[in-house]
Amino acid sequence: MELNNDITWHHRKVLRKDRMSLVKGQNKLIWFTGLSGSGKSTLAIELERRLYEGGFLVYLLDGDNIRHGLNRDLGFSKSDREENIRRISEVSKLFFDSGIFVITSFISPFKKERDSARKLVGDENFIEVFVDCPLEECERRDTKGLYKKARAGLINDFTGVSQEYEAPENPDLVLNTNELNVEGCVDRLIDYLGL
């Protein structure tokens, strides 16, 4: 999409480096990706709590919650999923620029969109966390009943069933929720962050 020539970028006097002097340490964008039912939101919620209790400013952007507001106009086609992640990447960049830890929990099935999110904040600031869980286990959990509906043909373009999931090739961290419990996964994340 081409930018409108009538739009001007306004340079600010308070920069990221200035805001960073007010917060504790170096912030990161922590990007959870994985199939529906893998445990992304559960881990993200617990990580947000642990960081907050550790004295860090942190904000969680969750896929379902975002679709109640900002992205409520989007469906689940490939192009809508791409737009969903493009928007949340831009929002994440703004939150990151404010100096706080940003946690996102989105299926984000396509490598290209995850790579674009990484590029927005810089490789050194982006932590891709692959929440790895076998499809069979995700379907067994199926707390929302979505896999059942997808298998019955009631939901089209469902990731892992009728739409591809491009698993990360080189994630920064892999958490296998079929083998580790929530506390164990979050402990690994905290260790990875060096906090």
pLDDT of residue 6: 75
d(CA 11, CA 96): 17
Contact yes or no for 137/180 (Cβ under 8 A): no
Instruction: Name the pTM for this structure.
Output: 0.88
Residue 182 lies in a domain: yes
pLDDT of residue 108: 93
Alpha-carbon torsion, ordered 49, 99, 195, 113, to 10 deg: 80
pLDDT of residue 23: 66
Residue 7 lies in a domain: no
pLDDT of residue 15: 72
Rg over alpha carbons for the chain, rounded to the nearest Å, is: 17
Task: Read off the CATH number of the domain in which 94 is found.
Answer: 3.40.50.300
Domain count of the chain? Answer: 1
Q: Which of these, 96, 137, 136, lies nearest to 117 by C-alpha position?
A: 96
Query: Consecutive sets of 10 residues in the chain, 195 residues long: mean pLDDT of each?
Result: 69 71 79 96 96 91 90 88 93 92 94 95 96 94 88 88 92 96 96 92
Residue 130 lies in a domain: yes
Domain of residue 57, residue span: 24-193
Residue 15 lies in a domain: no
Angle 112-114-116 (CA atoms, 0-180°, nearest 5)?
70
Give the length of the chain. Answer: 195
Contact yes or no for 45/103 (Cβ under 8 A): no
Residue 14 lies in a domain: no
**Active-site residue list:** 108
pLDDT of residue 86: 94
Q: Which of these, 15, 8, 101, lies nearest to 57 by C-alpha position?
A: 101
d(CA 195, CA 181): 20
Residue 160 lies in a domain: yes
Residue 17 lies in a domain: no
